[in-house]
Structure 1
Amino acid sequence: MPGILTQPSSLSIPHDPSELPPGSDPFLITAQNGYLPTHLPLRRLPAAFDALSDILDDMPILKEDGTAGLLATFKLGPLIDSGALPDLTAEIDNLVVAGTGEIDMAAITAAFRDYSFVASSYLLEPCWKIYSNNADDGYGLGRQVLPKCIAGPLVKCAEM
């Protein structure tokens, strides 16, 4: 029938996510999970990204240990601007499945997630500060420029 899209007969949807090769796109559709991710997300990136992970751990308004984080004290931007987060763009290329050299899409997805959180927080921290000091003043303007140490890895992940 014209206008009806059909699935090619050569295309098969895997049933069990465990049958997928390591490093597969974590958002492949499977019969078991449908559109949901095939595996739990990577919680922490490899050691080369410890500076990023440490910032993420310290970033919340209220950290897991109950103390005030970088966003509560409005210190995220100054910390980033001081150089505490190195430009790890080249390290994105090292996010590969061990022994294969294949891109580890679960790790790329985790890096994109982590850099997205830092990017949003960095850009919007001034808005949060204005609002926190006096909600009647609204949100004000955020930062206008995203530093290369955040933008570079974010763009590289997005391209992959």
Structure 2
Amino acid sequence: MSRPPSRPSRFHMTSRRFPVSGRDWFQLSRLELVSPLARPTVFNASQVTAPSHYSWRCAHLSSLRGFGAGLRPHGPSPSWGVLLQDVQLQGFNVTGLQFSYASDCAGFFAPGTWMGLLTALLLGAIFACGLHMLLGLKTMDRFDDPKGATMAVPQGE
């Protein structure tokens, strides 16, 4: 099985300070695939971000939908796709020949987890409201019609 020819690539990264977190963050703004025969193909990659003193690591960085589509074509969409497997990037604060601690691309909660948590919260609120209503029930003092005349029961002597 032959592999497709590799193309030189350029990773354009920016560093920016966010006052809320009190640290510098880097972002992969775009990825350029350079070909000597044609114009470079540019992909935007705004989802690739991590603190500057960390590296960023992901199992897949791709323009293909089946792999999360973290790369979006800038301009006309090419008829081919990009798939980078087991990617780790660090553009700033590099010391030595090793990556620093990796900030992973996976979110803390998957969409299914969020859906389960919100459903459980909704059902818990309905249960609590129903329990509150049940505990607030009171029995009537009189068991006859409160709007009508009182019921008289004669007592025999």
Provide the TM-score with structure 2 as the length reference: 0.24
Structure whose CA Rg is larger: 2
Q: Which of 1 and 2 has higher RCO (CA within 8 Å, sep 6+)?
A: 1
Q: Specify which structure has the higher proportion of strand.
A: 2
Provide the TM-score with structure 1 as the length reference: 0.23
Q: Specify which structure has the higher proportion of helix.
A: 1
